[in-house]
Amino acid sequence: MGRTGILFERKTGVILGLSTAMFILIIAAVATYVSASPTSTFTQVINPGSLSTNIVNGSYTPVGSPTVAMSSVTFSTSCQSSTGTFGTASEQLYVENPDAADNGWSVTLAASAPTDIWDSSGTDFDFNDASGSGCTDGGDTDSFGGQMTVDPSGGTLAVGQCGSCATTSVTKGSSASYEEGVTNSITILTGAAGSDDIGDWTL
């Protein structure tokens, strides 16, 4: 009986020892699993883009060489006017504001230099000489008469590719004529501070 009791005690000790070891191993395994699978946090910073303007077609692809066809006139020794319209399904002004101008923006139209002229194989014309309502040469730097008037108010303002944007606080410019040294650029479109900070528009 004494030996049996001693044997049982030893077996019990072994069992307890194994159980304790297994418990420690289980705890260690759980701890290893948790540390190997932490909750990851991903962050991404989207920086504002650049305010841009372009001439695009109906698919918003830039047009390489946009043109404006002016109405034909019959030769005359008196002063005449010719008109043209810019803006079709295949050529339209496009403005994109990717959070770059939250306080407002404007689009203006100007020649490369105020001393430029309309150049052709025949007769040249000025575009910003107000003398004689554009019919005579004044005291500017060239020796040609002519004046161009731009009227964006008749254009159709619309939202571009942004489905959730609006034309609120985006306004078209008014009719104005170029005059060297006085009006070298004409405002076509203006987005006030209240316009969409992220959006695009066509005219």
> Count H helices, E strands: the chain?
1, 9
Taking alpha carbons only, the member of 48, 191, 197 closest to residue 107 is 191
The pTM of this model reads: 0.73
pLDDT at 123: 83
Q: Kindly report the average pLDDT of the chain as a whole number.
A: 82
Residue 182: burial class (beta carbons within 10 Å; 0-12, 13-18, 19+): exposed
Taking alpha carbons only, the member of 166, 173, 174, 171 closest to residue 198 is 166
Taking alpha carbons only, the member of 93, 120, 118 closest to residue 107 is 93
Task: Report pLDDT digits (tens) over 12-53.
Answer: 343 434 344 443 434 444 444 445 556 778 888 878 788 999
Write out residues in the chain with pLDDT < 50, as ranges.
1-34
pLDDT at 2: 40
The whole-angstrom distance between residue 201's C-alpha and the CA centroid of its chain comes to 9
Share of the chain above pLDDT 70, in %: 81
Question: How many angstroms separate the most distant Cα atoms in the chain?
Answer: 141
Q: CB of 145 within 8 A of CB of 131?
A: yes
Categorise residue 146: left if φ over 0, alpha if ψ from -120 to 50, beta otherwise.
left
